């Protein structure tokens, strides 16, 4: 029998999780960008700026932005001259991203539907792999990390940003109250979809602690794995190198 996995707080089969995550992002795709601003009070823009500063994209570098959704991180890296491939399992999210790219005048990006767990790219193809607020939605995270390692060149770098449970006691309670009560309500009134936003909150709460995730990054073969907490540990930037 196949082991069950969490879809938010519910236990489901791995296939069912992938299907339901797909439904969540198809449902939120159109309102995704405005919801990000509302849910984070605009903070996600600062986190993404900080993240890209850590990645340090260079002109001409090949970067895979995995689970790239509507392109927020990819646009920031393309601005610095990197050649970015935006991949996501969800064609609806990528379609919103491509329309945004046209409006913003970004022409050099490649958009490709891919499952992070089994990529179609050749070994050692990219200089860097980025994944932002994406990996907690992936059903088989170790498989995605192994694929990230495979498609990177030697000297290639892995960067992941994800929510984490804060270690600051007062802050963590305040955040939990905000996330569990307010975010699904905003989801209901703005995007007409309370359930999807409830899943997003539950998936954040269930994501491994930064130290546990750092261990998973090392297990995939990366060296010098690091976890940099931001904003009292609410968000963490993880990194690692392929040598
Ligand atoms: N990186 C973007 C950002 O920060 O704005 C989008 C993040 S969004 C919260 C999560 C994305 O992960 C969704 O677009 C979803 O389709 C994608 N995703 C979920 N499971 C995936 C998988 N197995 N492979 C690739 N992408 C996946």
Predicted confidence (pLDDT) per residue in 28-84, tens digit: 898 888 888 888 888 899 999 999 999 999 999 999 999 999 999 999 999 999 999
User: Span 122-148, mean pLDDT?
Assistant: 97
Cβ burial 94-105 (10 Å sphere, 16+ → b, else e): bebbbebbeeee
Look at residues 166, 134, 138 and name the one whose alpha carbon lies nearest to residue 232.
166
Look at residues 150, 151, 147 and name the one whose alpha carbon lies nearest to residue 135.
147
Residue 132 Cβ < 6 Å to ligand 1: yes
Q: For position 168, what pLDDT does the model report?
A: 66
Run of H or E including 27: helix 14-28
Q: How confident is the model at residue 100 (pLDDT cuts 50, 70, 90)?
A: very high
| DSSP-based three-state secondary structure for 117 | coil
Look at residues 125, 105, 106 and name the one whose alpha carbon lies nearest to residue 114.
125
| Probe residue for ligand 1, chosen from 131, 134, 142 as the CB with the greatest number of ligand atoms within 8 Å | 134
Q: How confident is the model at residue 19 (pLDDT cuts 50, 70, 90)?
A: very high
Q: For position 130, what pLDDT does the model report?
A: 98
172 alpha carbon – ligand 1 mean position (Å): 25
pTM equals: 0.94
219 alpha carbon – ligand 1 mean position (Å): 22
Look at residues 96, 221, 230 and name the one whose alpha carbon lies nearest to residue 164.
230
Q: For position 228, what pLDDT does the model report?
A: 95
User: Span 113-140, mean pLDDT?
Assistant: 97
Q: For position 167, what pLDDT does the model report?
A: 67
Residue 67 Cβ < 6 Å to ligand 1: yes
């Amino acid at each position: 029998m196949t082991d069950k996995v969490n879809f938010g707080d519910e236990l489901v089969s791995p296939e069912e999780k992938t299907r339901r995550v797909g439904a969540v992002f198809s449902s939120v795709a159109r309102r995704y960008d405005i919801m990000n601003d509302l849910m984070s009070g605009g903070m996600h823009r600062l986190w993404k700026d900080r993240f890209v500063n850590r990645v340090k994209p260079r002109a001409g570098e090949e970067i895979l932005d995995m689970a790239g959704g509507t392109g927020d991180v990819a646009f920031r890296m393309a601005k610095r001259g990197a050649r970015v491939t935006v991949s996501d399992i969800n064609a609806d999210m990528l379609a919103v991203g491509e329309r945004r790219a046209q409006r913003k005048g970004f022409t050099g990006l490649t958009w490709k539907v891919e499952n992070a767990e089994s990529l179609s790219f050749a070994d050692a193809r990219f200089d860097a792999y980025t994944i932002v607020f994406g990996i907690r939605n992936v059903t088989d995270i170790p498989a995605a990390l192994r694929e990230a390692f495979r498609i990177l060149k030697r000297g290639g770098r892995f960067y992941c940003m994800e929510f984490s449970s804060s270690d600051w006691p007062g802050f963590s309670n305040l955040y939990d109250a905000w996330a569990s009560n307010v975010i699904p309500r905003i989801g209901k009134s703005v995007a007409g979809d309370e359930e999807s936003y409830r899943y997003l909150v539950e998936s954040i709460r269930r994501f491994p602690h930064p130290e546990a995730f750092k261990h998973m990054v090392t297990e995939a073969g990366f060296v010098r794995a690091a976890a940099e907490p931001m904003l009292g540990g609410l968000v963490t930037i993880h990194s690692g190198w392929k040598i």
